[in-house]
Amino acid sequence: MKSGVLNLVLKRLGIAAVTLLIVMFAVFFATSMLPGDTASILLGQAATPEAVAGLREAMHLNDPAILRFLRWLLGLLHGDLGTSYANEMPVATLIGGRLLNTMKLAGITTLLSVPLALTLGITAAMLRGSVYDRTVTVLSIGVISVPEFMVATLAVLLFAVYLKWLPALSSVNEAHSLTDLVRIYAMPVITLTFVISAQMIRMTRAAVIETLSTPYVEMALLKGASRSRMVLRHALPNALGPIVNAVALSLSYLVGGVIIVETIFNYPGIAKLMVDAVATRDLPLIQSCAMIFCLGYLFLITAADIVAIMSNPRLR
């Protein structure tokens, strides 16, 4: 059985490696097909055709696409993300501080949203059919139906325009105290927490309800086990795999949500950096930022699958 579990884990890791290679290929060629000429954008409208041609040659933009891809892939394998076209400095240097800001935002959101969503999802499953359950279900479905930019816009209108409690823009450099940090992170964190918690609540509730309907849980209830004991001792351990999958899938929405939130609130993270790079067709910077988001998404999904395999008692 242990060798069977190990084989499944290794197989999942192999699938993740192949997926990563496909993602690299897709990211490179998708960004290479962006409209507009990079050399012309960098030199401006006053540039002569000779200057544009010379810059394209210097940046190796005239090389075949497959050769540029292999050169980029080899650089990634050696930890070289390339040099930014627009800033003329290493991409790793540009990404360093911005990546830390994005990780801070994602970390704070995770610390708030995961306990909140699990608590609401599990208690809604325990009180299935009650007013509390219906209220949580209706609210979560309502939040799921609203896109991230709408949640962010409503948050700005409510907390920044009408109530004037929080700033509309999140400038990390202006934080000089704990109160400043709370005010700066409040709006982005509130928006992201709303977005990812709703989906997590729905998936957690469904996983717990499915486990509660199994014969062994019903037998525990018939033997006199309390509802809380039945959930905590019998249902939750066996629903761990689906719940972890629910958490991982919900957190993966941070990939898309962070891009929108950082742009709306002008938060100095890696997503905002990537959006700015698209405007200048800074391909090395766009590709590196996109790969970081893809790696984060792939890591969450792979980790969830491995936990689901390890937590399955029949496989163990």
- Write the DSSP string, 120-149: HHHHHHHTTTSHHHHHHHHHHHHHHTS-HH
pLDDT of residue 174: 62
Q: DSSP class of residue 158?
A: I
Task: Give pLDDT < 50 ranges for the chain.
Answer: none
Alpha helices in 130-239 (DSSP H): 131-144, 148-155, 178-212, 215-222, 227-229, 236-238
pLDDT of residue 316: 59
pLDDT of residue 314: 66
For the domain covering 94-311, report its CATH number. 1.10.3720.10
What is the full DSSP assignment across 62-121?
TS-HHHHHHHHHHHHHTT---B-TTT-SBHHHHHHHHHHHHHHHHHHHHHHHHHHHHHHH
Q: Which residues pair with 90 in a beta bridge?
A: 83
pLDDT of residue 131: 92
At residue 292's C-alpha, the angle toward residues 288 and 295, to 5°, is: 130
pLDDT of residue 85: 79
pLDDT of residue 227: 67
pLDDT of residue 134: 92
Q: Where are the domains of the chain?
A: 94-311
Whole-number Å distance between alpha carbons of 144 and 142:
5
Q: In the structure encoding, which two tokens stand for residue 297, read together?
A: 């998404």
